[in-house]
Amino acid sequence: MYKKFLDLGLQPLANSYLNKKNLYKKEQSFKLEVGIDIKNFLVSIINTVPKTKMFNQRYPYKSSTSKTMMLSFYEISKKIKKRFNPNLVLEIGSNDGAFIKNFERNKVIGVEPCKNLANITKKNNYKTFSEFWNCKLAKKITMYKKADVIYSANTLSHIKDLNEIFKAINIALNKDGVLIIEDPSLLECLKSVAYDQFYCEHIYVFSSLALQNVLKKFNLKIFRIENTSTHGGSNRYYIKKVFSIKNKIDQSVKKEINKEINFGLKKFSTYKKFKKKVATSKSKLVTIMKKLKNKNFTIIGYGATAKSCTVLNYCKIGTQFIDYFYDTTSNKINKYLPGSKIKVKKYKTLSKKNIDYVYLGAWNFKKEIFKKEKKFISMGGKFITHVPYPKVI
């Protein structure tokens, strides 16, 4: 049973971009509420949307649109090769191939339910199964050869049925194999009041505590945790079948869990405090927008993210404040953000001539974006962010 601690209102599906034709049609929506399973400390959205409504041939997100992610996938694949020398790597949620393209074609298999994306890697001759991850698929893929490494970034937190995921992983993973999961960290999310980590696709925001509890049932164990800076602060969990852990568990596991306990992830009061901070964040962001608009400044958005969908709809920010969003993703251009109906335009280098303020939808790529927009910044162009608290930078 989930104990509710946050209500982010009625929300559309975060990646269901609108086009001119359906702009004024009633959008599908759901109540975005967040709760915690007190037994496992697992934080989850309470009402979920059927997976096929979110992940289908129209899915627009492409991992390879940011240099930061490309580099991160290159580096982890180098590490995997060096540390584990795998004969077969399996990726769950391979998207457009940003990770698998770092491996030899005969040593890697992708699983990606969105056909438009799976077709990209298939065309590049990477073996890809365009299906949802489950036991049946695990048996089919690894009938003759099991995986030495299963890697899954920003995907397992999107799958409701954790029983099915981990049962299937147990089927597909070699007895000495390593499962590597990478997902946004609940600790970082709460610390930086990044409430936009909650939307339809993010069914769970994992903590080490919760994951450790969930894994017990499947005889899987975390033996190492690395903190990574991607997506606003994530954790990379290294996991093995319990009986195959010969060496000691790395100290990083205890360290991370203690960090989480000390922050208060086991106490419901921590989540109630977060709820208050979220409400403050909303009113501050709206105040900033109102002040700037009253002075007739032009505000645009940068990075039409799934996260933005939560912020814009929760704060009721629409075209009264933001003229349009810039984004580099081909599938989002000339479409409209769900709910707020703000238009997404093809990215152009920012110019002070027609833009004063830029709301950072992709705040998780602040470093990469600020580097790209050096000129705009040097000319006095300003950004607005809500993480870790609403401010102009």
Interface residues toward ligand JHZ, by CB under 6 A:
61, 65-66, 154, 201-202, 303-307, 327-329, 332, 347, 362, 364-365, 368-369, 372
- Name the binder of 59 from ligand JHZ, ligand SAH, none, CB < 5-8 A by kind: ligand SAH
Diameter over CA atoms, the chain:
67
**Residue (223 or 237) nearer to ligand JHZ, CB:** 237
117 interacts with ligand SAH by CB under 6 A:
yes
- By DSSP bridging, strand 108-111 and strand 128-129 are parallel
155 interacts with ligand SAH by CB under 6 A:
yes
CA 45/CA 201 separation, integer angstroms? 9
Tell me which of 17, 59, 204, 336 binds ligand SAH, using CB under 6 A.
59
Of the candidates 338, 333, 337, 329, the one whose C-alpha atom is nearest the C-alpha of residue 365 is 329
Build a one-symbol-per-residue string for 309-338: x at contacts with ligand SAH by CB under 6 A, - elsewhere.
Answer: ------------------------------
- Name the binder of 112 from ligand JHZ, ligand SAH, none, CB < 5-8 A by kind: ligand SAH
* Min dist. Cβ of residue 369 to ligand JHZ (A): 5
User: CA gyration radius for the chain?
Assistant: 21
SS3 content of the chain, % helix, strand, coil (to 5): 40, 25, 35
**Residue (46 or 135) nearer to ligand JHZ, CB:** 46
From 148-156, 246-254, 323-331, 348-356, span contacting ligand SAH (CB under 6 A): 148-156
Build a one-symbol-per-residue string for 83-102: x at contacts with ligand SAH by CB under 6 A, - elsewhere.
Answer: ---------xx-x--x----
* 241 contacts: CB under 8 Å, gap ≥ 6: 170, 173, 175, 176, 177, 219, 220, 221
| Cα–Cα–Cα angle for 129, 131, 137, rounded to 5 degrees | 80
Identify whether the C-beta of residue 206 lies closer than 8 Å to the C-beta of residue 251.
Answer: no
Which residues of 186-309 form beta strands (DSSP E)? 204-205, 220-228, 234-241, 299-302
* Min dist. Cβ of residue 37 to ligand SAH (A): 20
Identify whether the C-beta of residue 158 lies closer than 8 Å to the C-beta of residue 353.
Answer: no
- Name the binder of 132 from ligand JHZ, ligand SAH, none, CB < 5-8 A by kind: ligand SAH
Residues in binding contact with ligand SAH, number by CB under 6 A? 22
Q: What is the dihedral of CA 104, 105, 106, 109, to 10 degrees?
A: 110
**Residue (7 or 131) nearer to ligand SAH, CB:** 131
CA 209/CA 42 separation, integer angstroms? 8
* Min dist. Cβ of residue 331 to ligand JHZ (A): 9
Q: Which residues bind ligand SAH (CB under 6 A)?
A: 51, 55, 59, 61, 63, 69, 92-93, 95, 98, 111-114, 117, 132-133, 153-155, 158-159
